[in-house]
Amino acid sequence: MKNLAVKIPSASPSTNEANKRTMRYCIPIVIEYLNVMDDRHMIHIVLEFIYVLCFDEVLRRDMYNEYNLDLKMRDLITSDTEGLKKIISDLRRLKSHLESDE
């Protein structure tokens, strides 16, 4: 899923945006996955997918506002002291950077 959402070099920008937007149907499942999955490696992969989706303003807004991604990340970081800290801090930094550019 992450590969479908990332930029395809030969595709037009509108195609790349359409790829990301299509992933919006997966967001509820992906966020719920963070609640039920205990495997740190799988959670890391899901967070990488979320990282890619964050570049789309609409998807980012939905993930953070409608699906409370901030709360999910807070829960993950308090339950796992080392394994997920870097990707979660990267996600937070990306969100701040993208929102400051808008």
pLDDT tens digits, one per residue of 53-86: 898 899 999 999 999 999 999 988 887 657 788 8
Q: State mean pLDDT over 36-48.
A: 88
| Per-residue pLDDT, 3 | 67
State yes or no: pLDDT of 14 exceeds 90: no
State yes or no: pLDDT of 16 exceeds 80: no
| Per-residue pLDDT, 84 | 86
CA dihedral 74, 75, 76, 81 (to 10 degrees): 80
Rounded to 5 degrees, what angle do the CA atoms 70, 2, 81 make? 40
| Per-residue pLDDT, 1 | 66
